[in-house]
Amino acid sequence: MKNNIKPKVTLIGACPGDSDLIMVKGVKALKNANVVLYDALVNRDLLAYAPTAKLINLIKKHQVKLIKDSYKLSYLEAKHLVIVTTDVIATNIEVHTNCKERNILVNVADNPSYYDFYMGGIVTKGNVKIAISTNGKSSTLAKRLRQFF
């Protein structure tokens, strides 16, 4: 017998550190979710809205490591891909330079001059898939386009 349930993906965001800022639609989506994928930035209070959902921590499952520390060259050992998101331009450039010297793919967030790959937004409607990127020029415009489509 064919299952008539259509899969649905809902992206939910709340202000980091303040679970009270989640939208009502986000709470409803969590309450009805079968599976919730989350990362290290999630406020654990939000997961309580999904008492029956299977919770999957993407950081543990895929061995992604979020580092909250001063940059050390040793962090690049045995790495194949690095995403840099500091707010210190000199550090971003140093990490980029070190990665290039070691043939490691690198993306310095919001700085097209310092990345080897794009992480564009994907919108899927039925059989149509659209990738949206502003080459780091306007994340707000990219967000609005994803919402429009």
Q: Among 8-17, 103-112, 117-126, which is the least confidently predicted range?
A: 8-17
| Model confidence, pTM | 0.50
Burial of residue 48 (number of CB atoms within 10 Å: 0-12, 13-18, 19+): exposed
Which residue has 């990127």 as its token pair?
133
Per-domain residue ranges of the chain: 1-62, 73-112, 118-149
Q: Which residues pair with 84 in a beta bridge?
A: 108
Residues 6+ away with beta carbon under 8 Å from 23: 12, 14
| Alpha-carbon radius of gyration of the chain | 18
Q: What is the pLDDT of residues 41-87, one digit of tens each?
A: 777 788 888 888 888 887 666 667 777 889 999 999 988 888 888 88
* DSSP 8-state assignment for residue 133: -
Per-residue pLDDT, averaged over 106-110, amounts to 84
Residue 30: pLDDT band (50, 70, 90) is confident
Helix, strand or coil, per DSSP, at residue 8? coil
Q: Which CATH class is domain 1-62?
A: alpha beta
* DSSP 8-state assignment for residue 22: S
Report how far residue 33's alpha carbon sits from residue 28's, in angstroms, rounded to the nearest whole number.
9
Report how far residue 98's alpha carbon sits from residue 6's, in angstroms, rounded to the nearest whole number.
45
